[in-house]
């Protein structure tokens, strides 16, 4: 499990927590270079893994992060099948020799282009994030399960792992994302309300919340996010509050336990068996309804 490079999700505290549980966090691009370098060095001093997000032009920053010990560099872009992202992937791989994660992509052609450029992993998902409006604004995107399967068909031929990024809101989504060909899932929304996410708890009407915003939202763009391009444009994200969720460990355990139970139903003892044994079926509206709890006046 990977925590997303969003400025309401992953900074030093989240990255440490993720690594301690066996996952990895990706420090977001809106962090100052100084803060990010300090975080990388501290995390490495603890003997943990960490990745850091960069833009396609951030060559000096990329070199500093890699020298500081970052285990991977993630080229953060909403549109990964772009000549600038291909060039940046090739530069990071050839000039630094760093592990490079490229994306976001959603098609076999995009996967081929970035793998050829040297990508060590692919970040998959266009427009499926909880705070993303790309499909509404730009009219572009691929349903997430389809995108994962399309990209995994290509990536698996080269042994390149797939990071399923977006549309995860419950354990079942993790099971299906990995069964469709994902090697890991990247989480933003589910982690934003946890203790380890940046920002203070907001109290409203007797309930606790934390801020969450897409990196294409108005305030994230104003703060310096270039994930959706460097020129002024219509925002491709929203912002707001999400319910407070407590320690991130509890969220991760909830997801992992659900994954284990799903694997048990399929008869899979590892993720490779899950991918090989899982079978997908179409759900009618009636089938979807019967898949959910129903009939309660008060649900506990």
Please write the tens of the pLDDT for every residue from 35-93: 999 999 999 999 999 999 999 999 999 999 999 999 999 999 999 999 999 999 999 99
| pLDDT tens digits, one per residue of 257-271 | 999 999 999 999 999
Rounded (5°) CA angle 71-48-104 = 40
Q: Is the pLDDT of residue 231 over 60?
A: no
Q: Which of 29, 123, 132, 275 is catalytic?
A: 132
Angle at 80 between CA 77 and CA 82, to 5 degrees: 110
Is 135 labeled as catalytic in the residue annotation?
no
Confidence of residue 221 (pLDDT cuts 50, 70, 90): confident
pLDDT for 107 equals 98
The pLDDT value given to residue 85: 98
User: Which entry of 123, 227, 245, 275 is annotated as an active-site residue?
Assistant: 227
Q: How far apart are CA 189 and CA 70, in angstroms?
A: 24
pLDDT above 80 (res 227)? no
- Count Cβ atoms below 10 Å from residue 186 Cβ, excluding itself: 30
How much is the pLDDT for 225? 55
99-126 pLDDT per residue, tens: 999 999 999 999 999 999 999 999 999 9
- How many angstroms separate the CA atoms of 94 and 88, rounded? 10
- CA distance to 5, 85, 89, 94, per residue, from 118 (Å): 21, 11, 6, 8
How is the beta sheet containing 202-204 ordered, strand by strand?
A: 202-204, 207-213, 239-243
Q: What is the pLDDT of residue 223?
A: 75
Is the pLDDT reported for residue 15 higher than 80?
yes
User: Tokens representing 135?
Assistant: 């499909």
Backbone angles phi, psi at 174, to 5 degrees: -65, -45
Domains of the chain (ranges; CATH) run 2-199+244-289 (3.20.20.70)
Q: Which two tokens stand for residue 247?
A: 């320690």
**Is residue 89 within 8 Å of 102, Cβ to Cβ?**
yes
C-alpha 129, offset from chain centre: 9
Say whether pTM exceeds 0.85.
Answer: yes
132 in active site: yes
Please choose, from the candidates 223, 187, 228, the residue with its C-alpha nearest in 3D space to the C-alpha of residue 25: 187
Pairing verdict, β 207-213 and 202-204: antiparallel
Q: What is the CA radius of gyration of the chain?
A: 19
């Amino acid at each position: 499990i990977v925590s997303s490079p969003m400025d309401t999700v992953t900074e030093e505290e989240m990255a440490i927590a993720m690594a301690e549980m066996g996952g990895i966090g990706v420090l977001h691009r809106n962090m100052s270079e100084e803060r990010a370098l300090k975080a990388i060095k501290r995390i490495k001093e603890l003997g943990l893994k960490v990745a850091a997000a960069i833009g396609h032009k951030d060559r000096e920053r990329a070199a500093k992060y890699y020298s500081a010990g970052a285990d991977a560099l993630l080229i953060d872009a909403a549109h990964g099948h772009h000549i600038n992202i291909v060039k940046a992937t090739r530069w990071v791989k050839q000039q630094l020799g760093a592990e490079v994660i490229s994306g976001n992509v959603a098609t076999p052609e995009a996967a081929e282009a970035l793998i050829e450029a040297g990508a060590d992993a692919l970040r998959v998902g266009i427009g499926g994030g909880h705070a993303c409006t790309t499909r509404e604004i730009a009219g572009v995107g691929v349903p997430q399960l389809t995108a994962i399967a399309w990209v995994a068909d290509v990536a698996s031929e080269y042994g390149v792992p797939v990071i399923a990024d977006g549309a995860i809101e419950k354990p079942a989504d993790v099971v299906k994302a990995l069964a469709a060909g994902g090697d890991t899932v990247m989480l933003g929304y589910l982690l934003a309300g946890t203790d380890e996410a940046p920002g203070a708890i907001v109290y409203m009407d007797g309930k606790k919340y934390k801020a969450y915003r897409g990196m294409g939202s108005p305030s994230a763009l104003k703060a310096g996010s270039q994930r959706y391009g460097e020129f002024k444009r219509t925002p491709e994200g929203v912002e707001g509050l999400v319910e407070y969720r407590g320690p991130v460990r509890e969220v991760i355990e909830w997801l992992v336990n659900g994954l284990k139970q799903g694997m048990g139903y399929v008869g899979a003892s590892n993720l490779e068996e899950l991918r090989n044994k899982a079978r997908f079926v179409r759900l009618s509206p009636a089938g979807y309804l019967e898949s959910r709890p129903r009939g309660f006046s008060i649900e506990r």
